[in-house]
Structure 1
Amino acid sequence: MSNSSQKLVPEAKNGLAKFKQEVASELGVQFTDYNGDLSSKQCGSVGGEMVKRMVSEYENKIK
């Protein structure tokens, strides 16, 4: 049985954090060390936009 919280590529953590900050900044969402004051909608919009961009990038690579 594998641990689902184990990172497949631990080196990607910093890159994803930077990507999250870039997307959040573009959407006007201010992420900090504590994000408990952000709404689910704000956090979800950042995560959703990240996924859209990653899928788009992948689709462009396989064309």
Structure 2
Amino acid sequence: MAYNRKLVPEAKSGLNRFKQEVANEMGVNFTDYNGELTSRQCGSVGGEMVKRMVHQYENNLK
């Protein structure tokens, strides 16, 4: 099972913009090559993205 595949491939550019936005707000410099970043930095960006998506979903349920 591939966990890194997009369920909606058309959303790729939007997700990339969202990732850049979150990374910039957190002070993490994402580029095409992220080999200098720590796992913690990359994971914190992903975690924050999920947190914001869940928050948005919950707000839409109201």
TM-score by length of 1: 0.89
SS in 2 for 1:8: coil
Identity of aligned residues (%): 72
TM-score by length of 2: 0.90
Partner Cα distance (1:6, 1:39) in 2: 23
Residue correspondence of structure 1 range 42-61 to structure 2 within 5 A: 42-61=41-60
| Runs (5+) with no aligned partner, structure 2 | none
Instruction: Considering fraction of residues, name the structure with more helix.
Output: 2
SS in 2 for 1:17: helix
Partner Cα distance (1:39, 1:32) in 2: 13
Partner Cα distance (2:59, 2:34) in 1: 33
